Structure 1
Amino acid sequence: MTTLAWCASVSLAVWVWLLFGQGFFWRTDQRLPPAPSAPPDGWPRVVIVVPARDEAGVLPLSLPSLLAQDYPGEAEVVLVDDGSTDGTGRVAAELAAGAPGRGGGLPLTVVSPGEPEPGWTGKLWALRHGIALARARGPEFLLLTDADIAHEPDSLRLLVAAARGNGLDLVSQMARLRAVSPWERLVVPAFVYFFAQLYPFRRINRPGGRVTAAAGGCVLLRTETAVAAGVPEVIRRAVIDDVSLARAVRRVGGRIWLGLADHVDSVRPYPGLGELWRMVSRSAYAQLRHNPLLLAGTVAGLVLVYLLPPVALVVGVVAGDAPAAWAGAAAWAVMTGTYLPMLRYYRQPLALAPLLPFTAFLYLLMTVDSAVLHYRGRGAAWKGRTYAAPGATRGAEQRLGGGAE
């Protein structure tokens, strides 16, 4: 066998292992666990905390859905306007005042925390103030949700029922991201697919499991567990705050659950490749702990697992290398088959599945670009702020005037 055939065979073996040995990551059946329609001792008080920075454009699509929650218990919304320059707080107040049937909607409080203190990332600085204000209300649960997330009217009720009915301390749903433009259709389902491959939902949801993650756009968190875990102070420097939050909860013995959402959607548009590129590259290298060796291993793995199969098939056919062609074709087929459930979940054409190697190549470039940005001092960012790697000097944390998200 040629070297190409051997490499293609290794890629095929990896895909067979991924198919059966990586927690069935490719399945999309991890949805909110069943629970009684109402908690046996009544519906607990919930405070919804929304960190928002320059979100005036999406709030009209998301905030009304929170104010209109059909929740039988006491609930309210706290929106933390984190130094917005586009009138985010004013827009939020206007939406609350003009909401139809305002008398039956959830009350809204808008607060502004001021500039972050050294050692805090922007979103977590906003959450610190929102959570502190929320805790003063004495809620049993906190719903932490991003400003671009829209909720169906029964979203909060289903989240609370799942948490109460299953004894969970953290319930997180990965919001269905927008997939309308051609680039969104190509990149967005793969984003969730790759996340699930890295953090298989089934393993996360297993009691006592070692794999730990959450989706920051929608997190229902038990207040007493947050206090025991020291949240958010204990994760104040985190760039990938949702995974850090889940780990903090699990460290104190909390039970967590993560799955795909049916009632929670992101309304943020990413119409062009540039917006999607920034979404991934802003934190990809942070996911690799700013480690050059992990970066090199990730690039090599992406090449072997995703790029080699179609190359082996084409080169094998052209060069008459039958073993390479067959191994490449088989690996590509398994890869394509594992991607089909995610495309169905996103209601996208199944014909996009064979294009996954191309999308993986884009993610490879985004990851490398993330590392380049980091070493240029323009790494992980949230809404115009750039943050140093954990352990870096505080002086490395700086404000940027650009439009990075």
Structure 2
Amino acid sequence: MSAVAWTAVGSLAAWVWLLLGQGLFWRTDQRLPPRTAPGDWPCVAVVVPARDEAAVLPVSLPSLLAQDYPGDAEIFLVDDGSEDGTGELARALSARLGGLPLTVIRPGEPEPGWTGKLWALRHGIARVRERRPEPEYLLLTDADIAHEPDSLRELVAAARTNGLDLVSQMARLRVASCWERLVVPAFVYFFAQLYPFRWVNSTDARTAAAAGGCVLLRTEAAVRAGVPESVRQAVIDDVSVARAVRRSGGSLWLGLAERVDSVRPYPRLADLWRMVSRSAYAQLRHSPLLLIGTVAGLALVYLTPPAAVVAGVLTDDPVAGWAGAAAWLMMAGTYAPILRYYRLCLWQAPALPFTALLYLLMTVDSAIQHYRGRGAAWKGRTYTRPEAAQDR
């Protein structure tokens, strides 16, 4: 066989393994587990780190204020050095709309060794723990996340019913613009491929992950895991928190959300590029060898199938053509469920190689920015060598 044919067969073998051996990552049926209402609803504190979020707060914060929760709940919004009036807007929304009580905290600039979000969570959680009685649960949710009125109630019921220390839902991201429809579903798809939800939710597996936009965390588990101090330098904070909880003996659950949505717009490719590239190289632990391996892996798995089909037709190489076509079909088939979850046309599934090429370039750009001293830049802050989400 030709070199192209051997490469295509290797890609096909990789897709057979991904289809059957990677925790069925492509399925979208991991939703909140069965739950019943607890006899006594525990106290919950909602902690919202926010930096320059005045554009999205009028959509997201009212959804938290309006939570229909039978127990005691309070919102702590941590205004992390905002310059757009985020804190003042939050107070105004609370005064106008009522609902759950709101406290706004302004902690000042992060100390050395802390990333901004975790610095904000540190101060929010510290203020929460001053309450008496101390809340049983913390809902850590981003400022761009909108919750349906029963979101908190359902999260607490799931945690209580199943004895879970951490329950996380990956919010449904916005897919309004052309670039969002092309790039965003693939972001969720690749995340699930790295951290298969079934493996996260298995008590026997070592895989740990969470989606930072919506994390319900038992306060006792946070203290036991030393969160957030134990992960204070992590850029990929959600996965780092989940790993800290699992290392300390906690139980996790992660799935797709049905009633929790991100309202942050990414109308341009440049916006999505910054979102991905700021943490991609941190995920690779700033390792050139892992970067090379990742680029080679993406090329073999995602770029080889369409290239092999074209080469097979042009060079009359049936093995390359059929192996490439079979791998491409498997790729599109595994991508279709996430497109259906996002209510997008399934014709996008064969275009996944192009989207994968964009992610490959974003990952390379992330490494370039790191070595230029501009790694992990976000909202006016740059972390030149932040820690990845990794086991210690």
1:49 aligned partner:
47
| 8 Å CA contact 2:4, 2:320 repeated in 1 | yes
Q: Secondary structure at the match of 1:118?
A: coil
**Aligned equivalents of 2:367, 2:346: Cα separation in 1:** 33
| 8 Å CA contact 1:122, 1:382 repeated in 2 | no
- Which residue of 203, 211, 215 corresponds with 1:215? 211
**Aligned equivalents of 1:43, 1:277: Cα separation in 2:** 42
Residue 163 of structure 2 corresponds to residue 164 of structure 1 = no
Q: Quote how far apart the aligned CAs of 1:390 are.
A: 4.5
| 8 Å CA contact 2:285, 2:387 repeated in 1 | no
- Which residue of 63, 80, 87 corresponds with 2:61? 63
Deviations 1:240-295 (A, max 9, x none): 11111001101110001110000100000000100000000000000000000000
**Aligned equivalents of 1:391, 1:257: Cα separation in 2:** 24
Q: Quote how far apart the aligned CAs of 1:391 are.
A: 7.3
- Which residue of 76, 101, 111 corresponds with 1:107? 101
Q: Quote how far apart the aligned CAs of 1:239 are.
A: 1.0
Q: Quote how far apart the aligned CAs of 1:389 are.
A: 2.0
Q: Quote how far apart the aligned CAs of 1:130 are.
A: 0.3
1:353 aligned partner:
349
After the TM superposition, which parts of structure 1 deviate over 6 Å for at least 4 consecutive aligned residues? none
**Aligned equivalents of 2:238, 2:23: Cα separation in 1:** 21
2:230 aligned partner:
234
Matching residue's letter, 2:3: T
**Aligned equivalents of 1:391, 1:186: Cα separation in 2:** 29
**Aligned equivalents of 1:116, 1:390: Cα separation in 2:** 14
**Aligned equivalents of 1:209, 1:315: Cα separation in 2:** 41
Q: Quote how far apart the aligned CAs of 1:382 are.
A: 3.1
**Aligned equivalents of 1:116, 1:171: Cα separation in 2:** 27
Residue 182 of structure 2 corresponds to residue 181 of structure 1 = no
Structure 2: which 5+ residue stretches go unaligned? none
- The alignment's C-alpha RMSD in Å is 1.0
What TM-score does the superposition give when structure 1 sets the normalisation length? 0.94
| 8 Å CA contact 2:282, 2:387 repeated in 1 | no
Q: Write the mapping of 1:241-280 to structure 2, written as runs, cut at 5 A.
A: 241-280=237-276
Q: Quote how far apart the aligned CAs of 1:18 are.
A: 0.5
1:135 aligned partner:
129
Q: Write the mapping of 1:369-384 to structure 2, written as runs, cut at 5 A.
A: 369-384=365-380
**Aligned equivalents of 1:198, 1:391: Cα separation in 2:** 18
From the superposition, tell whether residues 206 and 331 of structure 1 become closer, same or farther in structure 2 (CA, over 3 Å): same
- Which residue of 311, 314, 317 corresponds with 2:313? 317
2:111 aligned partner:
117
**Aligned equivalents of 1:49, 1:6: Cα separation in 2:** 52
**Aligned equivalents of 1:145, 1:316: Cα separation in 2:** 49
Matching residue's letter, 1:70: D
**Aligned equivalents of 2:360, 2:45: Cα separation in 1:** 39
What TM-score does the superposition give when structure 2 sets the normalisation length? 0.97
| 8 Å CA contact 2:233, 2:387 repeated in 1 | no
Q: Secondary structure at the match of 1:258?
A: strand
1:3 aligned partner:
3
| 8 Å CA contact 2:376, 2:386 repeated in 1 | no
Deviations 1:205-248 (A, max 9, x none): 00131111111110000001111111111111111111110011
Q: Identity of counterpart residues, as a percentage?
A: 76
